[in-house]
């Protein structure tokens, strides 16, 4: 037991599989542990590297196991999969995690504190409520279409749908009206909850100095700024802005060979919430620039003149991500480039 240098643990709800190996990679033990046995087992081991996949509850267990004296490391599941031999099961997964953790070039996920995870709860909750609101809007729009009521798309036109349902003069069948009223009432309740979260996010943005500096970037508002502060790792984790953009999944996918460079669509590998928010912020900037070219910078104006707007939006989100990293790493505020002549 004293020769153990690396332990791979396959996380689960109730039964955990652990795999211990020595510095040469030889197997020392394979064990199944119930949830209540995990910490007592690791407290008896000498200090070693304990690796696990970066999945649900991983940050919690990394903190708890580190508290009993071990060096904990989180590995992206995609980097563990190549080490799984033949059949997939808990024992094979734990062995693969142990082997992956011993690779000298392996990349690890930065662990989060409980406070950092708590800061991200508001954004996860807001995303959930916005998705539910979208589902209800689509359902209401689809039902009313069957009765000949067509309203323009967008959250701003939802009020017209609600008014149609509440209007006794509308020729909606009496049997359907009470059911549609349930949808409209649920929509109004969700709107109030989302507005409450938006106010909380705005208050956080006003009191956080980093968020206030990030909001100087065009397209970055309170929601995006506070989300970046809460969900993004420390700027020191990345060597340069491109690495941060790659972590967000905003760089082209490479499929190069034989010295010939082939770049495809964006990788979409990384933090989905932040990537989506940055693309939404970039979309608002490109929309304003397309409507009023005088407000566009030289780069954006030239791109809008020769490229599709959606392509430019993603490229601008990439530039915004690099700017975000620069401000978080070096301080200061955003300075706008000269406008196009």
Mind listing the pLDDT tens digit for each residue in 172-206? 999 999 999 999 999 999 999 999 999 999 999 99
- Average pLDDT for 85-103: 93
Is 231 a residue whose pLDDT tops 60?
yes
Q: What pLDDT shows up at residue 341?
A: 45
pLDDT at 282: 94
Mean of pLDDT values over 127-152: 92
Q: Which residues contact 122 (CB under 8 A, 6 or more apart)?
A: 197, 200, 201, 230
Residue 272: per-residue pLDDT: 86
In tens, the pLDDT along 53-87 reads 999 899 999 999 999 999 999 999 999 999 998 88
Question: What DSSP string runs through 276-333?
Answer: HHHHHHHHHHHHHHHH-GGGSBHHHHHHHTTS-HHHHHHHHHHHHHHHHHHHHHH---
In 3D space, the residue among 73, 98, 94, 77 whose CA is nearest the CA of residue 31 turns out to be 94
For residues 295 and 203, the model is more confident at 203
Task: Give every CB contact of residue 15 below 8 A, 6+ residues apart in sequence.
Answer: 32, 33, 34, 35, 90
Where helices occur in the chain by DSSP H, the ranges are 38-44, 58-67, 77-80, 90-101, 114-145, 158-166, 177-207, 209-214, 222-231, 241-248, 272-291, 298-304, 309-330
Is residue 340 very low, low, confident or very high in pLDDT (cuts 50, 70, 90)? very low
Would you say residue 2 has pLDDT above 60? no
What's the confidence (pLDDT) of residue 338?
54
Place of tokens 């580190």: 66
pLDDT digits (tens, 9 = 90+) for 243-288: 999 999 998 888 778 878 887 788 888 788 899 999 999 999 999 8
pLDDT, tens digit, for every residue of 116-130? 899 889 999 999 999
* Averaged pLDDT, 96-106: 94
List pLDDT tens digits, range 26-43.
999 999 999 999 999 999
Write b or e for each residue in 80-96: b if 16 or more Cβ atoms lie within 10 A of its Cβ, otherwise e: beebbeeeeebbbbbbb
Mean pLDDT of the chain: 90
Q: Which of 57-61, 164-168, 206-210, 336-340 has the lowest mean pLDDT?
A: 336-340
Q: State residue 305's pLDDT score.
A: 86
Looking at the chain, the whole-number percentage of residues with pLDDT higher than 90 is: 66
Q: Which residues have CB under 8 Å from 214's CB, separation 6+?
A: 220, 224, 225, 228, 229, 324, 327, 328
Residues 264, 314: Cα–Cα separation, whole Å: 13
What pTM did the predictor assign? 0.81
Q: Which residues of 232-262 are buried (b: 16+ CB within 10 A; e: fewer)?
A: bbebeebeebeebbbbbbbbbeeeeeeeeee
């Amino acid at each position: 037991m004293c020769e153990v240098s690396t332990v791979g643990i396959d996380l689960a709800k109730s039964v955990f599989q652990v795999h211990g190996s020595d510095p040469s990679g030889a197997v020392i033990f394979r064990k199944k542990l119930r949830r209540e046995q995990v910490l007592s087992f690791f407290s008896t081991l000498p200090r070693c590297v304990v690796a696990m996949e970066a999945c649900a509850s991983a940050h919690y267990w990394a903190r708890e196991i580190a508290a009993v004296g071990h060096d904990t490391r989180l590995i992206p599941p995609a980097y563990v999969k190549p080490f799984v031999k033949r059949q997939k099961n808990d024992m094979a997964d734990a062995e693969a995690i142990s082997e992956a953790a011993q690779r000298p070039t392996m990349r690890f996920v930065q662990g989060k504190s409980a406070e950092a995870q708590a800061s991200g709860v508001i954004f996860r909750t807001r995303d959930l409520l916005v998705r539910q609101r979208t589902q209800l809007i689509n359902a209401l729009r689809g039902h009313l279409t069957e009765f000949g009521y067509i309203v323009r798309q967008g959250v701003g036109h939802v009020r017209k749908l609600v008014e149609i349902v509440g209007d006794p003069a509308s020729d909606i069948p009496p049997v359907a009206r009470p059911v549609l009223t349930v949808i409209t009432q649920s929509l109004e309740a969700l709107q109030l909850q989302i507005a409450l979260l938006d106010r909380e996010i705005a208050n956080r943005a006003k009191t956080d100095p980093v968020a206030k500096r990030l909001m100087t970037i065009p397209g970055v508002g309170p929601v995006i700024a506070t989300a970046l502060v809460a969900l993004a790792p420390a700027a020191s984790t990345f060597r340069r802005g491109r690495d941060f953009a790659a972590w967000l999944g905003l760089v082209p996918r490479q499929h190069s060979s034989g010295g010939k460079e082939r770049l495809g669509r964006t990788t979409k590998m990384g933090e989905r919430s932040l990537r989506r928010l940055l693309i939404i912020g970039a979309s608002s900037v490109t929309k304003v620039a397309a409507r009023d070219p005088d407000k566009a910078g030289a780069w954006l104006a030239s791109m809008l003149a020769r490229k599709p707007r959606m392509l430019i939006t993603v490229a601008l989100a990439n530039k915004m991500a690099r700017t975000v990293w620069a401000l978080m790493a070096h301080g200061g505020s955003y300075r706008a480039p000269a406008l196009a002549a």
